[in-house]
Amino acid sequence: MKKLALIICLAVPSVCAGAEVGWKDLVVASMSDCLKEAMAAAALEDGGDAIILACRGDKARILFNMLGEKIHAELVQDKNGKFENRPFGNNTCYHRIEDAGGKPSNEFRCDLVLVTGEALKD
Q: Where are the alpha helices (DSSP H) in 1-122?
A: 2-11, 13-16, 23-40, 57-67
Q: What is the pLDDT of residues 13-57, one digit of tens each?
A: 555 555 688 889 999 999 999 999 999 998 888 878 889 999 999
Q: What is the pLDDT of residues 1-16, one digit of tens each?
A: 455 554 555 555 555 5
| Contact of 71 with 86, CB cutoff 8 Å | yes
Question: In angstroms, what is the C-alpha Rg of the chain?
Answer: 16
